[in-house]
Structure 1
Amino acid sequence: MGSASGMPRWGRTVPALAGAAAGAVWLWRHQGDLMLRRPVNEWTFTHMNALMPKTVVPRAATPSPWPERAESIEATYTLDRVERPLADLHARTFTTSFLVLHRGAIVHESYAGRCAGPGVRFQAFSLTKSVTSILVGIALAEGAITSLHDPVATYCPDLAGTAFEGPTVEQVSDMCSGVGAVEDWTVPESAINRFERAVTGGGSILDVIRSLPRMSPPGTAFNYSTIDSQVLGWVLEGATGMPIAEYAASRLWSRIGTEDDAYYFLTRGRPRTALGGGSLNASTRDLARIGLLMARDGEWAGERIVPKEWVARSRGRDVPHIAVGALGPSGRPHYGYSSQWWTLGGARRAFTGIGVFGQYLYVDPEADVVIVKTSAWPTADDECLDRETITALRALADHLNRG
């Protein structure tokens, strides 16, 4: 039967279906962009398990409760000669959760995000890199990784014949592999964007990594690279014979009294793999446990978890091209780098894990301060928001140290 317009109903249905199909294709191709835009990203960063395949890292069999102690943290920070309260930091840098440890106790905990709260697992992004580093340190102590001077292809045979055949475990850990150009999210065909599309769209991240050229001799220059961290995660898996989530569960998560299951999201393409550089999701309280473990030289409740030498290495070492202020175009003047951690130098040698969109795990062992800040920035990277955040976290640690 025809319609009032004279066109059969099926004649109008076909173009509608075609439009819906085209819209679905567009959504599939642009899903990464849509998930990361404000305010949607506040939901995305707490619901990655609804968007991607995942593998669980179970909480400790006997979680250890945090001691809590009321303590004034009415600190201020000075940015561009303007003194600001910490409330400004949260409003100006889109904080979703904020937790402060001092002397091993929680002195502040707040959840400003729309979807945030205790027990909520936050997408850690590149904070994952710092956890991968801890696992590599444990694997070295166990002898699963024989030496930091081993070529990464020893543990990752699929990288033979590529630019990653020469770099060592140490060079990849320090992001000095010499492979690939500056990581630039604003260039559609950059390596990091091709990598991200392969992760979310079902492509091969191995093919992306194998295609990268060598840009400088290994071990001579810093170049921030999530792909270096992915290779490091594969080194860990090849050396231990265990998926990274399983190794994290048995060697770390089960041993530090974690309260909540964590998880790694996995690539959509098969074989599905966790991202050693960016797919850990964990609660704010459990991220604080990672920070306290590092603040206490790798010990937890009297048990050695991470080698003391590995913790010291993560705080910075005497290597000119990864020193504070020497990182070049893919770093910032206030940072150095070592073993998947950003180093801050100075008398107390504080250091921090950082993830895009404003995730921070700030560790100041000398002040006995750990700060976790999760955020939902409007863009993946923002030099001004980073400078404000690190200025405020330093000021807060100074305030608590004086107290």
Structure 2
Amino acid sequence: MTTLVSGRLLNAAAIAGAGAGAVWLWRNQGRLATRRPINEWTFTHMATVMPTEDVPRGGRVFPLPGRSGPLEVSYTFGGAERSLTDLHRNTNTTSFLVLHGGELVHEVYPGRFAGPGVRFQMFSLTKSVTSMLVGIAVDEGAIKSVADPVTTYLPDLAGTAYDGPTVEQLLDMCSGAGDLEVHTVPDNDIRRFERAISGGGSLREVVRSVRRTAQPGARFNYSTIDTQVLGWVLESATGTSLARYAAERLWSRIGAEHDAYYWLTRARPRTAIGGGSLNATTRDLARIGLLMSRGGELNGQRIVPEQWVARGRGRGAEHLEVGALGPSGYPHYGYANQWWTLGGTRRAFTGLGIHGQYLYVDPQADVVIVKTSAWPTADDQARDLETVTALRAIVDHVAGAGNR
């Protein structure tokens, strides 16, 4: 009898322990999935982890002529001369592609699960694509004006921190809503947002709970929640999902080689993350960069308004200039229209995603660079600065120092 009771107690304890472990795994799945080396798999297999909505390509592929070859470029960082091999090792590169003059001059895939047909998780680089879609919607008249209040399109946000900011203020991350986006603070806005995405909570309730922390338009505060609201504005204005609008107005028109996809929230109604859930191949992202480098035209067709592209290279607002972003941005960046600006005479700009995703565009030099990565942490100023230093050196090398 004693043995039987002891056995039952041990079984119960084992079941309870397994249950507690399952609960811990559920609550910490996001942290586990983004740790190295697991993140190299996660960032190339999001369709097996989350619900998705496809972004189908069109019928014809826009060619990227040229032949990829070695790129013997060095850059100086930390007092030492470094090679691209050093860059890839130091910054956990998974894919890397360089276009010059629309031609493919360099392409490598150092990641364990990487390759030309692999779709990579782009995180906040998605924000730059969302901006392009908003620009198209404005040009078509679905969004009447960027000066419209957010609540014109999302009346259910009346009485929240998003009652007052305009579409333009969201585009420039100046809504005045929310706290500092730091991924290491357990219960701040972005962590609650992430838990709602993966744990089945309500994103709408998280957004409605965000506090007003500044007057709209007064200061820059990088916010994925701002772009989520912007994506909802787009969906409300166009009457279609983010993925479908992206397919019809963008992906089917750039000559993409592969379908892209957005992953969606687990909770219903499922929604794409306009600030972070696009997955696409490196080559197709290069086509997006080429479209931006060419002022919104590709293959003889106008896709994004030229003036909208120009907005992403800098808007002239003092608090958005390079070095003026405050604690919410690194000193070597400015911001405009959901793009990070680099200033200088070239006025290059880049889309960025956490864990080291880049779409670097230098229209003057006619260079586009895509880099996907699997950093061990969401943000890393040293890795970011080394990457930007290397990308600038590549532009100098490929296009010639005379293009500075």
Whole-Å separation in 2 of the counterparts to 1:45 and 1:69: 27
Aligned pair partner of 1:85 in 83, 103, 114: 83
Whole-Å separation in 2 of the counterparts to 1:34 and 1:185: 14
Aligned pair partner of 1:100 in 98, 101, 109: 98
Aligned pair partner of 2:335 in 312, 334, 337: 337
Q: Which amino acid aligns with 1:237?
A: E
Matched, 1:399 2:364: no
The more displaced of 5-14 and 62-71 is: 5-14
Which residue number corresponds to residue 281 of structure 2? 283
Question: Could you say what secondary structure the match of 1:165 adopts?
Answer: coil
Whole-Å separation in 2 of the counterparts to 1:398 and 1:372: 16
Which residue number corresponds to residue 147 of structure 1? 145
Matched, 1:185 2:179: no
CA 1:71–1:347 in structure 2 vs 1: closer, same or farther (change >3 Å)?
A: farther
Mapped contact 1:43–1:115 kept (Cα < 8 A) = yes
Mapped contact 2:62–2:299 kept (Cα < 8 A) = no
Q: What's the CA shift for 1:13?
A: 2.2
Whole-Å separation in 1 of the counterparts to 2:5 and 2:228: 56
CA offsets 1:204-261 (integer angstroms, 9 cap, x no match)? 1111111111111111100000011101101111111110000000000000100111
Q: What's the CA shift for 1:340?
A: 0.2
Which residue number corresponds to residue 44 of structure 1? 42
Q: Which amino acid aligns with 1:111?
A: Y
Whole-Å separation in 1 of the counterparts to 2:203 and 2:190: 10
Matched, 1:239 2:240: no
Mapped contact 2:68–2:107 kept (Cα < 8 A) = no
Which residue number corresponds to residue 363 of structure 2? 365
After TM superposition, list the pairs within 5 Å mapping 1:223-238 onto structure 2.
Answer: 223-238=221-236
Which residue number corresponds to residue 290 of structure 2? 292
Aligned pair partner of 1:252 in 221, 237, 250: 250
Whole-Å separation in 1 of the counterparts to 2:189 and 2:74: 40
Q: What's the CA shift for 1:399?
A: 1.1
Question: Could you say what secondary structure the match of 2:291 adopts?
Answer: helix
Aligned pair partner of 1:389 in 370, 376, 387: 387
Whole-Å separation in 1 of the counterparts to 2:79 and 2:9: 67
Q: What's the CA shift for 1:10?
A: 4.0
Q: Which amino acid aligns with 2:287?
A: R
Which residue number corresponds to residue 109 of structure 1? 107
Which residue number corresponds to residue 313 of structure 1? 311
Q: What's the CA shift for 1:63?
A: 2.0
Q: What's the CA shift for 1:14?
A: 2.1
Q: What's the CA shift for 1:119?
A: 0.9
Percentage identity across paired residues of the two chains: 67
Which residue number corresponds to residue 33 of structure 2? 35
Question: Could you say what secondary structure the match of 2:162 adopts?
Answer: helix
Whole-Å separation in 2 of the counterparts to 1:124 and 1:161: 33
Which residue number corresponds to residue 56 of structure 2? 58
Q: Which amino acid aligns with 1:253?
A: W
Which residue number corresponds to residue 199 of structure 1? 197
Q: What's the CA shift for 1:318?
A: 1.0
In structure 1, list runs of 5 or more residues that go unmatched: none
Mapped contact 2:69–2:107 kept (Cα < 8 A) = no
Whole-Å separation in 2 of the counterparts to 1:386 and 1:158: 38
Q: What's the CA shift for 1:192?
A: 0.3
Matched, 1:162 2:165: no
The more displaced of 12-21 and 222-231 is: 12-21
Aligned length in residues: 401
Which residue number corresponds to residue 217 of structure 2? 219
Q: Which amino acid aligns with 2:150?
A: V
Which residue number corresponds to residue 21 of structure 1? 19
Question: Could you say what secondary structure the match of 1:255 adopts?
Answer: coil
Q: Which amino acid aligns with 1:142?
A: E
TM, length-normalised to structure 1: 0.97
Q: What's the CA shift for 1:72?
A: 5.7
Mapped contact 2:146–2:166 kept (Cα < 8 A) = yes
Mapped contact 1:73–1:399 kept (Cα < 8 A) = no
Which residue number corresponds to residue 374 of structure 1? 372
CA offsets 1:124-144 (integer angstroms, 9 cap, x no match)? 000000000000010010000
Q: What's the CA shift for 1:70?
A: 5.0
